[in-house]
Amino acid sequence: MQSRDDLVVKEVEFMGDNLMAAKDRDGIIWAGVSYICNGIGLTKSQKDSQVEKVQKDMLLNKGCRKFPAGVFDGNNETIALKMDFIPLWLAKITITSSMKENNPELVEKLLEYQLKAKDVLAEAFLPQYKNAEKTYETKATSIGEIASFNKEMDRRMEKQGSAPWKICEAFKMVSEQFGIVLPADFVKVPEYEQMSLTITQ
């Protein structure tokens, strides 16, 4: 951990990857976009595309900040996102057939990042976060915004072929982040997965 001016900068380990994040004087946690892209397994061109996207996207750019060289990276500027924007950004990443073919673990790893990266970053800077009850002001986040996010996440997960129970798991996790309590049995994990078998003659 290093303190640079009004920032506390940390290297955070997640799923065997090293992410870079910083907390500013207002308590806002920022995560380096390129480090998350590297952790997920995106190629350099895909990473560059995502760094550009978070700066141009109408919603994501509201939580985007450029840090000068020497903060995250000793030699380069770094684009970072507010911690709360990370799940939304990751839900917007399109999984192509080429990505599935060349990196079959990428889709599953992306889902893990969508569900857990935000909490891991928060715990790194806020020791009390793990056991704290997460509450949000209704004036800051409306039901409509939560519904829109869940709808977008559902669409993305269906497009990349995620199992129905995985989609429900993601929906439940996001909902509970905003104080919406769902039934304990909302996610029905199958005892086994139906496999398809093609027989050729």
Q: Residue 9: which CATH number?
A: 3.10.260
Within a domain: residue 67?
yes
- Residue 86 is assigned to a structural domain of this protein: yes
Q: Identify the domain containing residue 49 by its residue range.
A: 2-94
Is residue 25 in a domain?
Answer: yes
One-letter identity of residue 136 = Y
Question: Which of the listed ranges 53-67, 155-169, 170-184 does the model predict with the highest average pLDDT?
Answer: 53-67
Residue 13 within a domain:
yes
Query: Is 73 a member of any domain?
Result: yes
Take residue 156 and report the two structure tokens written for it: 């993305």
> What pLDDT score does 140 carry?
45
Buried-state track 124-147, b at ≥16 Cβ within 10 A, e below 16: bbeeeeeeeeeeeeeeeeeeeebe
Tokens of 201: 């003659």
Would you say residue 56 has pLDDT above 90?
A: yes
Is residue 141 scored above 60 in pLDDT? no
Residue 27 belongs to some domain of the structure? yes
Domain count, the chain: 1
Contact yes or no for 65/23 (Cβ under 8 A): no
Structure tokens at 125: 């800077």
Is 8 part of any domain? yes
Distance CA 18, CA 39 (A): 7
Q: Does a structural domain hold residue 125?
A: no
Cα–Cα dist 91/153, whole Å? 5
pTM greater than 0.75 (yes/no): no
> Rounded to whole angstroms, how far apart are CA atoms 73 and 71?
6
Look-up: residue for tokens 């560059």?
A: 48
